Amino acid sequence: MTVQTFEAPTVKVASDKAVWSQDVLKTKYTYENSIVEKTQDGKFNVNPISIDYEFKVDLIKPKTGLLLVGLGGNNGSTLVSAILANKHNISFETKEGVVKPNYYGSVTQSSTIKIGVDQTGNDIYAPFTSLLPMVSPNDLVVSGWDINKANLKDAAKRSKVLDVTLQQKLAPYLENIVPLPSVYYPDFIALNQVERADNIINKDSNGKALLNSKWNDVETIRKNIKDFKQENDLDKVIVLWTANTERYAEIIEGVNDTAENLINSIKSNHHEVSPSTVFAVACILDKVPYINGSPQNTFVPGCIELAEQYNSFIGGDDFKSGQTKLKSVLAQFLVDAGIRPISVASYNHLGNNDGYNLSSPMQFRSKEISKQSVIDDIIESNEILYNDKVGKTVDHCIVIKYIPAVGDSKVAMDEYYSELMLGGHNKIAVHNVCEDSLLATPLIIDLVVVTELLSRISYKRSDSKSGNYEELYSVLSFLSYWLKAPLTRPGFRPINGLNKQRTAIENLIRLLVGLPANNELRFEERLL
């Protein structure tokens, strides 16, 4: 493997809690929270707790490869184009002037973290990547699978996302990138995708998908990953699904409810094992981190159990880019302000292949479930506004239509109808037009960069009997900020509030370098 070197961070924290060496950072941290019991008479018994931990971070950035499922789609071709443009410093001219390459929309590459205040109490911010060594997207080696065999030059042209001038400049790099054959089970995606499926792992003499070779599909994917890692001299590989939305897989006892049953169901070619789950299982078996960027239920119970058994990282579901991200902020704002949303109506139309696939009812249902869940925890946070007397739910309507003319520019319209005091009402209407893939692609970068960082973090409790460091739990819920329907440990409710999600990942980075959790008490200003 290529020997990687340590790069010292630009933020130096004078803390005895964090001890830096040439390749390892060790940090002591006391986690404080409160365990709450609600009594039948409506009172709360609160018991503060504190647990001492020691964290360890491997500071050596590995040479990392990224394999995309759906490499030739809008997101895949746009991601590769963005990395090439930034890596080779390719600028291009539009009618508005020269555009220089950037990673706008990426938290890790284009946002900052508050690290403290200056002597007069003014906030001081540092780049997100300046506290700990993180992999640069420019250094990622990218390949992947697609059910369509078009090279990325043709895929980028077909997607109609990038300016033509930029496409022309990137053409010499893109035309030699061809996706690997992928898994195609026609029942899981819309029938309108059949003409696109000409690049399939297992097919008969007529080019049609074989549905009796699912375990062979797993083994083929595993070999693809191993070959990719070896051919590119990589230390680590991450796999991310950015392919078509699948229909929901039915959860069936004895089929996909346990790890053992899921493996047996793949080997027996059960019809309820989806392509995305096949990719997930292949990755889990070789401890390759796998992220699901689409809304389907890839991680059926048996898949999560398998990840737990292999201590393999998984994360999902569904990129949270535009309309839903705004909803997670606006709904939180209204409820926190003591205003009672009673209905949220969301409509959007788009004309890319994602929209074409979602025009099928079964695939739309997967997206609807993902979008509807985004305000659940926000509603549950306020029993004054939502209770048995006035109702515990919000009417939440979601409509998605395929309109070819708008291409990748998704049009979203939302109406938030809320109840005010004494019978008053408030209506907020939002009209949002966004270039879908140019919002989603930076999320892929963030998910990969943060997943790679999380894979270098281990911990132990101070009262650990073994004294050994352990990896983080298999389900990477720290990725929630970038996902519509965050996957969590079974038995735990997901957190959808955007500010809470951002605070979690930001405070993790802060604690690892010896900084306290962020707060806004501002005693410098408010106390004598």
Q: Which residues are known catalytic residues?
A: 318, 367, 410, 484
Closest by alpha carbon to 277, among 306, 237, 234? 306
Three-state DSSP state, 477:
helix
Token pair belonging to 381: 């946070």
Please check whether residue 258 is in contact with residue 305, taking contact to mean a CB–CB distance below 8 angstroms.
Answer: yes
Edge-to-edge strands, sheet with 425-435: 395-402, 340-350, 409-419, 425-435
Please check whether residue 98 is in contact with residue 498, taking contact to mean a CB–CB distance below 8 angstroms.
Answer: no
| Angstrom distance (rounded) from CA 214 to CA 278 | 7
DSSP β-bridge partners for residue 292: 241
* Residues in Cβ contact with 126 at an 8 Å cutoff, skipping those fewer than 6 apart: 10, 11, 112, 113, 115
Please check whether residue 475 is in contact with residue 304, taking contact to mean a CB–CB distance below 8 angstroms.
Answer: yes
3-state helix/strand/coil string of 276-315? HHHHHHHHHHCCCCEEECCCCCCCCHHHHHHHHHHCCCEE
Three-point CA angle 256, 262, 268, nearest 5°: 110
Three-state DSSP state, 238:
strand
From residue 99, alpha-carbon distances to 46, 300, 312 in Å are 55, 43, 40
| Angstrom distance (rounded) from CA 304 to CA 261 | 12
Please check whether residue 500 is in contact with residue 328, taking contact to mean a CB–CB distance below 8 angstroms.
Answer: no
Three-state DSSP state, 437:
helix
